[in-house]
Amino acid sequence: MTGRGVAWAESEWLLAASVWTEKKPGRGEDAEPLFVHQFSSGEGVVGVFDGAGGAGAAAAGTSASGAERTQAWLASRFTRALVEDWFVGTDRVHEDLHEHIATALVKARGTARRKILGTMRRELPTTMAALHYRWGDDETAEWAALWAGDSRAYVLDAQDGLQQVTRDDTESSDALELLTQDPPMTNMVCADRPFEVHIARGSTKVPCVLVCATDGYFGYVTTPAEFEDVLLRTLERSETMQQWGNALADEVVGYTGDDASLAIVALGFTGFSQLRHDLSGRTAVVREHAAQIAAIAPGDLETLTAVRADSWARYREDYERLMPVKEPR
């Protein structure tokens, strides 16, 4: 196995790409990203799924080739299939997705349940972050973010840049704080305990870009603006969606410490050239953030702390513009 994969699609008014890389080839616990679009209705779904390796480290069996698979590996791929099945085979009621996943996972546990030790252990645990969108002939696309865990979904546009539309299932939702800490997740998809699939709905002007990513992409940068810089810097040097996907794969393996997966769908652009042109103004904005970080001398932690805090203070308002309000417990 190569340890990476890129898929893409280009048609009139619709551009898409998905990227998937493994830290250890053949053993990655991120599922391949999900992208399905139905042209007759103008609806689609994109999503990413990150098997929770620590919680799901228990063995789940072996593949046909004899490779050992963990519960986390199986959970991410099974949940991906369930979200696709929900989109293709139902009337797409968002509130039904939780039951669709939970029921199938309980059945998948079977009768021979393993003894799980410790409060952190889970059966078939994974994160998920998906965007179900609908776009007709008007200038607005409606979307619903559906998530559990700490994978994220975003809207990206030329005016406000990258905006997170999910809220991590951790005690803190501060994106900069989460880069310097590793808090446990308070909610994830799993088979042995109750979980929640959060729903947040919104709309955005078209043209726009929808993005879903696991923490392999956004969790190993220095400041939150650098993830948008990764997206736009690779876009700037690409000529097609295929090239953009390959550039994103090359980029992430250079800085991440984890498996990484990402799905992108761009709506309402006449083609790739317009997509790149329209977002070129944002490229200069986020490049300034990344350049300030790059200019810090190695080991100068005092300057790094100050610069990244300043970057976050300037970037935060637009980034959190669409973030859901934290739900009361």
Q: What is the mean pLDDT of residues 56-63?
A: 65
Give every CB contact of residue 73 below 8 A, 6+ residues apart in sequence. Answer: 27, 28, 29, 51, 56, 60
CB neighbours of residue 76 within 10 Å: 33
pLDDT of residue 153: 98
* Per-residue pLDDT band at 328 (split at 50, 70, 90): low
228 touches 161 (CB < 8 A) = yes
Sorted by where each begins, the domain ranges of the chain are 4-319
Residue 303: burial class (beta carbons within 10 Å; 0-12, 13-18, 19+): middle
Question: pTM value?
Answer: 0.93
Distance of alpha carbon 71 from its chain centroid, rounded? 20
User: pLDDT, tens digit, for every residue of 11-23?
Assistant: 989 999 999 999 9
How far are the Cα atoms of 78, 154, 174, 250 from residue 129, in angstroms, in the given order? 14, 10, 18, 23
- With pLDDT > 90 as the criterion, what percentage of the chain qualifies? 78
- Which amino acid is located at 141 in the chain? A
122: Cβ contacts below 8 Å, ≥ 6 apart: 52, 55, 56, 71, 116, 188, 190, 191, 192, 193
List, for residues 248-291, the tens digit of each pLDDT value.
999 999 999 999 999 999 999 999 999 999 999 999 999 999 99
How far is CA 49 from each of CA 40, 222, 228, 260, 306, rounded to the nearest angstrom? 27, 23, 20, 10, 34
Q: What is the pLDDT of residues 133-176, one digit of tens each?
A: 999 878 999 999 999 999 999 999 999 999 999 999 999 999 99
The span from the first CA to the last CA of the chain, in angstroms, equals 44
Supply 212's token pair: 């879903």
> Residues 126, 189: contact at Cβ < 8 Å?
yes
Q: What is the length of the chain?
A: 329
**Are 276 and 247 spatial neighbours (Cβ–Cβ below 8 Å)?**
no
User: How far is residue 141's CA from residue 156's CA, in Å, rounded to a whole number?
Assistant: 13
Give the pLDDT confidence score for residue 165 in this predicted structure: 98
Condensed to tens digits (0 to 9), the pLDDT of residues 106-143 reads 998 764 345 444 456 778 999 999 999 999 878 999 99
Q: Which CATH number is correct for 4-319, 3.30.70.260, 3.30.470.30, 3.40.630.10, 3.60.40.10?
A: 3.60.40.10
Amino acid at 190: C
Q: How far apart are CA 137 and CA 145, in angstroms?
A: 22
Alpha-carbon distance of 87 to 38, in angstroms, equals 10
**Residues 26, 73: Cα–Cα separation, whole Å:** 10
> For residues 303 and 309, what is the distance between their CA atoms, to the nearest angstrom?
10
The 8-class DSSP code of residue 65 comes to T
Burial class from Cβ neighbours inside 10 Å (0-12, 13-18, 19+) for residue 7 reads: middle
Tell me the CB-side half-sphere exposure of residue 324, using CA atoms within 13 A: 20
Token pair 């209705």: residue: 41
